[in-house]
Amino acid sequence: MEPRERFRLILAIVEKDLRMPLWTWVLAGSVAGLGFLLSLPGAAAMASYLRYYPYEFVWFDATLRGYYGIAAFLSSVVMGITFATVHGGEVRKGTIRSVILYPIDMTDLTIAKLLATFVIAFLVATPLFMGFFGAYFVYGLYPAGAFLAIHLMAFAMAAVALATGVGASLLIANVTGRLAPSPSSMGALFLIAALLLTETAVSTIGTYLAILMSAGRFPSPETFEAIEDFARTISVVSPHHMGARVLGIGFGLTSLWSDVHVVVPVALLVIAIAYVVGKRLYLDLFIK
């Protein structure tokens, strides 16, 4: 099929999916507004305090990890729920069976669903994240540009994780002949894995385990060192680790590029193979 025709089909599906119920947008706007209002007294007090004790916002590794973690969590949750609605919801309700009666293949259908997810999730997650810190931006306490960069990077990495998970689902379907695990489940799994496999998350979880396994005694420094080493090694498979690392380089906190080259090439490879494989899949996978 011609690229123009494929684009038309993708666009038709995206347009349809973007017509979310009004209450979705009202809810997202209300929560963002509430977050802004809740942060207002703290920001005002901080601004008042800083009038007497001037302070320049400086990025530290710990602050970047914290804010990036919030952004990554928010983007992942919103993206996972949105994809489960626009894709998984259609499969569950059966309406996807009407869509596949038209000249679309699995690849283009998946692209359309991912695009719709990205647009909706962006329109929901951005006001939420920026809204929670909005009062600090209004008073000039936090750098809004840097926070927006953090949000954009976290969102992009969540998108990479979701697309890779969905692609992996198509690869499995090509082998097993069944769409199980579903793209929504695999997407959610990869979104969660991307969060849990960051250096911060792995070392935190490892520390908890070490405390549990040491039967009340405090773990040895060697144990902590081993946990840190393991966390550093495993975190190279997390897109969020890479995203935070790139931001860290951008904010002048680190110059380590070594583990940036792992996850994106692997993700792109999975997505590229899924793209080709998806074109060969028969759409009765949605009916089985």
Partner 1 sequence: MPAAAAGILREQPHVGRTLISAESPWPPWMLVQAHGLGKTYPKVRALDGVGFEIHEGEVFGLFGPNGAGKTTCLRVLSGLTRPDAGRAEVCGHDVAQFPNDLRRHLGILFDLPFPYVDMTVARYLTFFANMAGVPRAEVRGKAAWALAQLGMTHHAGSRIGKLSMGERQRVEIARVLLSPARLLLLDEPFSNVDVDARLHLRSILRDWVSRGGGILFTSHNLLESEAIVDRYAFIHLGRIVAVGTAKELKENLLAPVYALEVSDANMALAALEPIPHQALETTAPNLVRLGLLRRQDAPRVAKALVSADVDLLEMKSVGTMEDVYRKLTRPPGPGGAA
Placement of tokens 């979880």 in the chain: 205
Helix (H) / strand (E) containing 37: helix 22-52
**Is residue 66 a contact residue for partner 1 (CB under 8 A)?**
no
Q: Does 7 bind partner 1 (CB under 8 A)?
A: no
104 binds partner 1 (CB under 8 A): yes
The H or E element that residue 273 is part of is helix 263-280
**Site map 155..194 versus partner 1, x via CB under 8 A:** ----------------------------------------
First to last CA, the chain: 26
In angstroms, the CA 207 to CA 184 distance is: 31
Q: Which stretch binds partner 1 (CB under 8 A): 13-21, 31-39, 117-125, 202-210?
A: 13-21
Residue 102 binds partner 1 (CB under 8 A)? yes
User: Residue 288 and residue 284: Cα distance in Å, rounded?
Assistant: 6
> Is 282 among the residues that bind partner 1 (CB under 8 A)?
yes
Which position among 180, 212, 276, 287 is part of the footprint of partner 1 (CB under 8 A)?
A: 287
R_g of the chain, CA atoms, integer Å: 22
Please, what is the minimum distance in Å from the beta carbon of residue 121 to partner 1? 21
Q: Is 60 in the site for partner 1 (CB under 8 A)?
A: no
Q: Is 135 in the site for partner 1 (CB under 8 A)?
A: no
Tokens 């998350």, located at residue: 201
Binding-site size for partner 1 (CB under 8 A) equals: 27
Per rule CB under 8 A, is residue 9 in the interface with partner 1? yes
DSSP E strands in 144-284: the ranges are: none
Backbone angles phi, psi at 59, to 5 degrees: -80, 135
Strands, E, within 82-126: which ranges? none
Which residues would be at the binding site for partner 1 (CB under 8 A)?
1, 5, 8-9, 11-13, 15-16, 21, 93-105, 282-284, 287
